[in-house]
Structure 1
Amino acid sequence: MSRLELRARLAQRDVEFDLGLDDGDVLAVLGPNGAGKSTLLQMIAGLLRPDEGRIALGDTVVTDTAAGLFVPAHARGVAMLAQQPLLFPHMTVAANVAYAPRCKRRGRAQARAVARQWLAAVDAEHLADRKPAQLSGGQAQRVAVARALAAEPAVLLLDEPMAALDVTAAPAVRGLLRTMLRQQRRTAVIVTHDLLDALAIANKVIIVEDGRIVERGPVRGVLAAPRSEFAARIAGVNLVSGTAVGPGAVKTAWGTEVFGRGDITPGTAAVALFSPVAVSVHLDAPHGSPRNVLPVTIAELDVHGTSVRVRGTEQPDGAAGICADITAAAVADLDLAPGQRVYFVVKAQEVGLHPALAA
């Protein structure tokens, strides 16, 4: 069994986490730089000792501060895959992959057989006799995947494993990880900044901000209806926070009401979500139709795919400015420019209203 249960606090880095994974779960960890994502991995791996907490891998407790228990990193049965493959430069590919079985006191012949098995699984068997310097970035990361899995880890930890790969190698390694983790039912935790990694590889996601988990759940559920500002930003939707003033409206702290559809309770904290493609931009406020009209000062204009993204300045509560995706022709017709005051308009039926995250 490779369940993961973690409850840990580290005062020096101001982080406090509480999470659990079932056998075979793949968890994506998303959040801004400095939020504490890598600290979470390091505590699981045994590279950092929490001030307080308990970490269990399957039926084995590897950290328990109350009992004075701390299993060192090399004895935890955890493998780490980082941005750089970190292969031993003086060893062949086959020897690199056979290293972990040899460390577990398997014989040379058995370790070589395990290496061949995993190199075949990652479509790198033909690279067995090469040295790491003879590999491309994508090939080296494939070998690193094989080496990590050859260790038969209870939990596989992945720290931005595609970040250093080029645009042609990254999709191949992403697909490989998806296949390997699902076929082998490996429990894994992947820290990433790339939404594609979460969508393609993971079945669960947590959003980490300021050393705390602010949102968690199935990947598609969280990204389809995010409740935190970072999750909304990475999912590409607009988020406006406020208080429910009826079953179909959220009122912001600065008095703007946003109408939409959803199950919210009057008087409770709520968020309004809507896609930038559902927003139109007007120079004058329109009247007489069931639409939300939001005054906005333009902060910037960017090309976003085949559209132009018009981004407003920060909301009065400091949240990211809301966006509209419109055509280049519309930008030219309206003669839009940063600093200009305009109106973002979105139909109520395009806005989803949801309860906010509990504080």
Structure 2
Amino acid sequence: MSTVRVRARLAERAVDLDVSVGDGEVLAVLGPNGAGKSTLLSIVAGLLRPDEGRVELGDTVATDTFSGTFVPAHARGVAMLSQQAMLFPHMSVTANVGYAPRCKGQSRSDSRATARRWLDAVDATHLADRRPAQLSGGQAQRVAVARALAAEPRVLLLDEPMAALDVTAAPALRRLLRDVLRGQGRTAIIVTHDVLDALAIADTVVVIDGGRVVERGPARDVLTAPRSAFAARIAGVNLIPGVATAPGVIRTAWGADIFGTGDLAPGAQAIAVFPPSAVAVHLDTPHGSPRNVIPVTIGELDMRGAVVRVRGTDQPDGGTGLAADVTPAAVADLDLAPGRPVHFVVKAQEVGLHAALPPPGAAGPHNWPS
């Protein structure tokens, strides 16, 4: 069994985490820079000791600060893949992939056979006799994946594995990881900033902000109906916080009513979520069918394919500015430009109302075992 359970506090990095991964599950970890994502991987791998906490890998207690248990990194059965392939430069590709099996006692011929099997799995057999200096970035990462898996880890940790690749190599590696991890039921944790990584590879997503988990759920749910500001930002949707005042209505901190769909009890902390594609931009206040009319000052315009993303300045409570996707013709006809006041208009049926998650740091301390 290759489950993972982490409860860890590290005061120096302001991290207080509670994360679990099921057997054969792929967990994507998202969050802003400095939130604690890589710290989580380092704690699981045994590269960092938490001030307080416990790490369980399957039935093995790898870290327990209360009993003094700490299994060293090399004995945890965990493999880590980072942005750089970190292959041994003096070894061939085959020798790199066969290194871990050889260290575990396999004969030279058996380790070569293991290396060939994994190189075939990642479609890199043709690279077997090359040295790392002869590989492209994408090829080197494929070999690094094979090397990590050849070690037969109980858990695979991936820290931004596509970040250093060009736009042609990244999709190929993403497909490879999806096929290998899902096809073989591998337990893995992947830290990424790319929503495509999470959607294509992961079963579950956690969002870490301010050193704590602020959101968790199935990858598609989190990235299509996010409940945290960071998840909404990377998913490209608008998010407005407020308090439910009546069925289908929330009131913002600045006194505006937002109408949408969702069954929330009055007084509940809530959020409104809607895509930029559902927003129309008007110069004057419109009238007509039930809709939300939100005054916005344009902050920036950004061409995205065939549409222009019109981004407002920050919301009155400091939240990320709202966005609307319009045609270039609409930008010209309305003479849209930074600094211009406009109205963002969205129909109520396009707005989802959800219960809000607590902000980072709102949760109480863990009841650490004694």
When the two chains are superposed, the root-mean-square deviation of aligned CA atoms in Å is 0.8
Residue 168 of structure 1, CA deviation: 1.1
The count of residues paired between Structure 1 and Structure 2 equals 359
Query: Which residue matches 1:73?
Result: 73
Secondary structure of the residue aligned to 1:66 is coil
Q: 2 CA distance for matches of 1:192 and 1:125?
A: 28
Shift of 1:288: 3.4
Three-state SS of the structure 2 residue aligned to 1:38 is: helix
Alpha-carbon contact 1:310-1:323 (below 8 Å) kept: yes
| 1:6 and 2:17 aligned | no
* C-alpha separation in 2, matches of 1:328 and 1:126: 47
**Distance in 2, Cα, partners of 1:107 & 1:56:** 32
Cα deviation for residue 54 of structure 1 reads 0.5
**1:105 alignment partner in structure 2:** 105
Work out the CA distance in 2 between the residues paired with 1:288 and 1:262. Answer: 22
The separation in 2 between residues aligned to 1:182 and 1:336, in whole angstroms, is: 46
AA of the residue aligned to 2:65: T
Q: Quick check: 2:292–2:347 contact (8 Å CA) kept in 1?
A: yes
Match of 1:64 in 2: 64
Amino acid at match of 1:342: V
Aligned to 1:40: 40
Q: Which residue of 2 aligns with 1:82?
A: 82
TM-score of the aligned structures, taking structure 1 as reference length: 0.99
Given that 1:89 and 1:132 are in contact with CA atoms closer than 8 Å, whether structure 2 keeps it comes out as yes
- SS of aligned partner of 1:261: coil
Who is 2:342 aligned against? 342
TM-superposed deviation, 1:142: 0.6
Can you give the 5+ residue segments of structure 2 that lack an aligned partner in the other structure?
363-370
Q: Quote the Cα distance in structure 2 between the aligned partners of 1:288 and 1:143.
A: 60
Gaps of 5+ in 1: none
* Deviation at residue 76 of structure 1 after TM alignment: 0.7
- Could you tell me whether the CA contact under 8 Å between 1:263 and 1:355 is conserved in 2? no
Q: Is the 8 A contact 1:295 1:342 kept in 2?
A: yes
**8 Å Cα contact 2:195/2:223 also seen in 1:** no
Q: Report the Cα distance in structure 2 between the residues aligned to 1:338 and 1:169, rounded to whole angstroms.
A: 36
Which residues in structure 2 correspond to 1:182-261 (within 5 Å)?
Answer: 182-261=182-261
CA distance in 1, matches of 2:24, 2:151: 17
1:182 to partner: Cα distance: 1.2
* Paired position in structure 1 for 2:132: 132
Counterpart code for 1:357:
L
Identity of aligned residues (%): 72
Distance 1:339 1:183 in 2: 51
- Separation in structure 2 between the aligned mates of residue 74 and residue 127 of structure 1, nearest angstrom: 27
1:225-278 CA deviation, whole Å, 9 max, x = no partner? 111001111111100000001111110011011001112111110001111111
Pair 1:175 & 2:195 matched: no
4+ runs of 1 displaced by more than 6 Å? none
The aligned residue for residue 289 of structure 1 is 289
TM-score w.r.t. the length of structure 2 is 0.96
Asked if the contact 1:155/1:186 (under 8 Å) is kept, the reply is yes
Partner of 1:329: 329
What is the alpha-carbon distance in structure 2 between the residues aligned to residue 207 and residue 68 of structure 1? 30
Provide the C-alpha distance between the structure 1 equivalents of 2:331 and 2:127, rounded to a whole number of angstroms: 52
Query: d(CA) in 2 for partners of 1:278 and 1:307?
Result: 13
Amino acid in the other structure paired with 2:296:
V
Q: After superposition, what is the alpha-carbon deviation per residue over 1:179-206, rounded to whole angstroms, capped at 9, x for unaligned?
A: 1111221100000001110011000000
Residue in structure 2 matched with residue 53 of structure 1 by the alignment? 53
